[in-house]
A and B are shown apart, each in its own frame.
Chain A
């Protein structure tokens, strides 16, 4: 890396960190949503197998 965190680096690092934070936030939310469903319905239980299309 030949550039410092001063100047342009602030914008670049901000963009990378914001992107990672947003994407990881979505993953965290989905894991929580998935687990809450798993807890209420039984872990890894598949949906009823007779459902229609």
Chain B
């Protein structure tokens, strides 16, 4: 595609409007390619450390015994599922309102990772619930609203894939993302609003944790690992998305 202008011309444009610099797919593509591998390496290291500490170092729980170790993965994956949906809705909304392509592409890049984290939260939750509650699944407020979150992700991905014109797909996806974001506070506060089998939050920012310090460490390390993994994967997928849209000729030369 093309024209005769190069990156330098765009850089010149962004010199007068610096906030546009990282709204450019070109800059995003290069920045993502530069930082994503480092973040991926950091995520891998934290996963190894977190899994080792969670499996072999943290002591057994006095009530749940060894099975509580599933929660070292369950809680971080559940948090990531919710956080990624909020970010997805934010980026999709920004892309829709301000017509920012990169913002919409970021939203599309987050959907699969968010869906997988939500699926993992449900699977690990079932593996923890079987020996603890005596059943794989209950229609508890939190599990049900988390299942709805998975359906919202699947709805977003399906709708986005079903529409051939990516810009229309971005706008349609933004509608479902913004409509569904109301589900996230429902998931978070469900254990306080309704009487559920789920326990309340054990780790809260700004308050003393109700679990032992040696048990908090694997939680925090694996949460950081999940965060870094999600960032790296989303950036890699963003690069794929940019390149594919560019190949389809959807990233047009901007008239300035």
Contacts and interface: CB of A to CB of B under 8 A. Distances in A.
Contacts of A12: 55, 66-67, 69-70, 127
A45 B252 CA distance: 17
Contact of A11 (B5, B6, B128, B252): B128
A23 B233 CA distance: 10
Nearest to A12: B69
Contact of B246 (A16, A34, A48): A48
Contacts of A40: 247
Nearest to A53: B23
Interface stretch (B25-33, B187-195, B205-213): B25-33
A16 B3 contact: no
Interface residues of B, number: 57
B101 A52 contact: yes
A37 B229 contact: no
Interface in A4-53: 7-9, 11-12, 14-16, 18-19, 22-23, 26-27, 30, 33-34, 37, 40-41, 45-53
A31 to B, nearest CB: 8
Contact of A51 (B26, B77, B123, B236): B26
Contact of B244 (A23, A37, A46): A37
B237 A30 contact: yes
Interface of B: 1-3, 5-7, 9-10, 20, 23-26, 29-30, 51, 55-56, 60, 65-67, 69-70, 73-74, 77, 100-102, 112-113, 116, 119-120, 123-124, 127-128, 130-131, 229, 233, 236-237, 239-240, 242-247, 251-254
Interface of A: 1-3, 7-9, 11-12, 14-16, 18-19, 22-23, 26-27, 30, 33-34, 37, 40-41, 45-53
